[in-house]
Structure 1
Amino acid sequence: MAAKKIVFLDRDTIPAHILIPQPTFDHQWVNYPETAPHEVAQRISDADIVISNKVYLGEEALNTASQLEHIAVAATGINNVDLDYCRKHQIRVTNIQGYATQSVPEHIIGLLFALKRNLFAYHKDIADGEWQRQNKFCFFTHPIQDMAGSTLGIIGSGTLGQATAALARAIGVKVQFAERRGVSECRSGYVSFENCLETSDAIALLCPLTDETRNLIDANALNKMKSTALLINTGRGGLVDESALVSALERGEIAGAGVDVFAEEPAPMDNPLVANQHLPNLILTPHVAWGSDSSITRLCEILVSNLEATSQGVEQNRVV
């Protein structure tokens, strides 16, 4: 059997100090630090296996890859792959599942703590000389709230949603899961989407981005939330109307937001959230909630395990 050519289109999405195990089957592995859209077709033209974290693989590029048999997405989200094309052409698509069940929940809880206790706002006060102007042993320019006893509404009840719920409960937070928007009869253990928005002290978005969930949190949804509530998005940027979120923060319709994902990534400087990063109740991180060393190491292990399983004809983490 000829060696399989494996092309990793965006190796730099994995930190350099994290080693990727090598598959045991005969192969040739080609790494590209990053790949621009116009470079995709040429780079995958003779590949048997393509690995992509965020590089888009659409019909135009895939048409050039006559021997492509497997697309291994080095992430959970698969909205960067034309799945309909892959179905029609019997190209297997796999993703990574269950690797960030420690990292993402900790990031969410970390953002909640920072916002509840206004850590960044107080840091800015010191940087701006407010402590000295107050001339007091301690001063309270922003409210400080405890996490314990609050209610966290989670939208997305998959592995990450469940792991976040477990960590939140461990610190005394009540948890409720939201039913899908527009569904009138809730599953056992769920509350309606609208009720979740109205009764939660914080909302965490952990659902996939689909046509049904795009702009799930829009001006109308934000208006339903408590004025004291927080919004955390570690799911996908497209889940939130970013301009509406900025307006809600500026008008005090909600108390704060922590955002790790953006509609366009890297987010340009004119992105509504980036352009308003000075807001004291807004914390931005660059899509790194998943990125603890242990989680990325686990991701790489699952990635290669997916390659091994496919080479042996075994179904593992297959989405198409």
Structure 2
Amino acid sequence: MSKKQEEEEPHHIVAIEAIHCKIPSFTLQTPHTKAIYNWTYPSELESRVKDATIIITTTIKLNAEILSASKTPKLRLIVILASGTDCVDKDAARARGIPICNCPSTNIDSVSEHAIGLYFAVRRRLVDMTNSVRNVPDSLDCDTEWKVSGSLKNKLKTSDGGAPLLCSQETMGIIGYGNLGRRIKNLAGGLGMNVVVAERRGVKEGEVREGRVGFEDVLKRSTVLVLCLPRTPETEKLISKEEFRVMLPQTVLINVGRGGIVDEGALVEALREGRIWGAGLDVYDHEPVGRGDSPLLGKDALGLNCVLSPHLAWFAEKTLENLQIGVKNTVEQWCLGNTINRVA
């Protein structure tokens, strides 16, 4: 097929995960068809994408098998309706010359504000406090924990007996200093926190970049540790048993980056042993999280100061608007011969 014929070939755009964001209309110079699915289960994926020239996904994985020429023979473009790109096998796409594009920086404001919200929820144990205040025993001979004890302040004491820190007393360490990390730094600084930015793990002391602090030093100094970096082979289980051992007992761990960066079993152990004060997570090793998927949902995690949100830090009206603009521009520009937002 000649290049001209290929350009005139009608596109079939398949959105396999429209549950998150409405798929916009596309204005293309050539005819095209569009199939939109709210959600796609693994058993449905192959049949839905077999004729696609463009696939739009968010978290549903496109592995090497589905990206093979036998499964998706017409595929020419993959667009991820998100910033994160770990759902697509980049090597498989690269081998066929299929570009992968994303929608960068569309959710920076929402995710950064959510990270700060998780910080306050964990530092002040807001979920636990709400449950303690609202838990009225069925027996008329008993009353709420607050009324019986007269105060719930002991719930807010750290393992070393201290009271909660104020923002002006916090040192926030940021691991992952892209656009999201920079926005979180600005918000934290506005709250009066001292902010340090971590160098990559393994960088020698004399090679630490200006404006950065050694990785290990950030772990040891931070009372708030925020993870906002992508999941790669280098960042998987970046925070595990050894890292928790050097953290402060006041430390609040926040992960709004990607699941798998924190060893969830090690986190539960650290919380139970009082090695850190608490954790707030919006992302998990396996998503969506359900029965048996994570130690964070197990019996050992009951009662721990761990606030969990279901990967919705991104969700805001402005984010939805940004995503629609981003995917529309990416598809339309690519069809004109201009590849934008390419990640692989």
> TM-score per shorter chain, which class?
over 0.9
Matches within 5 A, 1:115-264: 115-128=122-135, 129-134=144-149, 136=150, 139-141=152-154, 142-143=156-157, 144-184=164-204, 185-264=207-286
Offset at residue 90 of structure 1 (A): 1.1
Q: Which of 23, 43, 46 matches 1:41?
A: 46
Name the SS of the counterpart of 2:66 in structure 1: helix
Is 1:310 equivalent to 2:323 in the alignment? no
Q: Which of 102, 105, 123 matches 1:95?
A: 102
Range that drifts further, 116-125 or 268-277? 268-277
Rg larger for? 2
Q: Distance in 1 between matches of 2:110 and 2:301?
A: 24
Moved over 6 A (4+): none
Is 1:273 equivalent to 2:286 in the alignment? no
* Amino acid corresponding to residue 140 of structure 1 in structure 2: K
Name the SS of the counterpart of 1:190 in structure 2: coil
* Amino acid corresponding to residue 251 of structure 1 in structure 2: E
Q: TM-score normalised to the size of structure 2?
A: 0.88
* Amino acid corresponding to residue 117 of structure 2 in structure 1: G
Q: Distance in 2 between matches of 1:62 and 1:48?
A: 12
Offset at residue 277 of structure 1 (A): 5.2
Offset at residue 103 of structure 1 (A): 0.4
Structure 2 contact 173–218 (Cα < 8 Å) conserved: yes
Offset at residue 240 of structure 1 (A): 0.7
Offset at residue 148 of structure 1 (A): 2.5
Is 1:57 equivalent to 2:62 in the alignment? yes
Q: Distance in 2 between matches of 1:196 and 1:212?
A: 18
Change (3 A) 1:139 1:60: closer
Name the SS of the counterpart of 1:289 in structure 2: coil
* Amino acid corresponding to residue 166 of structure 1 in structure 2: N
Structure 2 contact 15–23 (Cα < 8 Å) conserved: no
Q: Distance in 2 between matches of 1:273 and 1:293?
A: 29
CA displacement, residues 187-242 of structure 1 (integer Å, 9 cap, x when unaligned) = 11111110000001111011111111100000000111101111001111100110
Structure 1 contact 116–146 (Cα < 8 Å) conserved: no
Size of the alignment, in residue pairs? 314
Q: Which of 22, 25, 28 matches 1:22?
A: 25
Offset at residue 291 of structure 1 (A): 1.2
Structure 1 contact 277–283 (Cα < 8 Å) conserved: no
CA displacement, residues 218-267 of structure 1 (integer Å, 9 cap, x when unaligned) = 00001111011110011111001101000100110000000111111111
* Amino acid corresponding to residue 98 of structure 1 in structure 2: S
Structure 2 contact 272–304 (Cα < 8 Å) conserved: no
- CA RMSD, 1 decimal: 1.4
Change (3 A) 1:127 1:277: farther
Range that drifts further, 231-240 or 58-67? 58-67
Structure 2 contact 84–102 (Cα < 8 Å) conserved: yes
Q: Distance in 2 between matches of 1:132 and 1:278?
A: 23
Name the SS of the counterpart of 1:39 in structure 2: helix
Offset at residue 147 of structure 1 (A): 1.8
Q: Distance in 2 between matches of 1:287 and 1:274?
A: 15
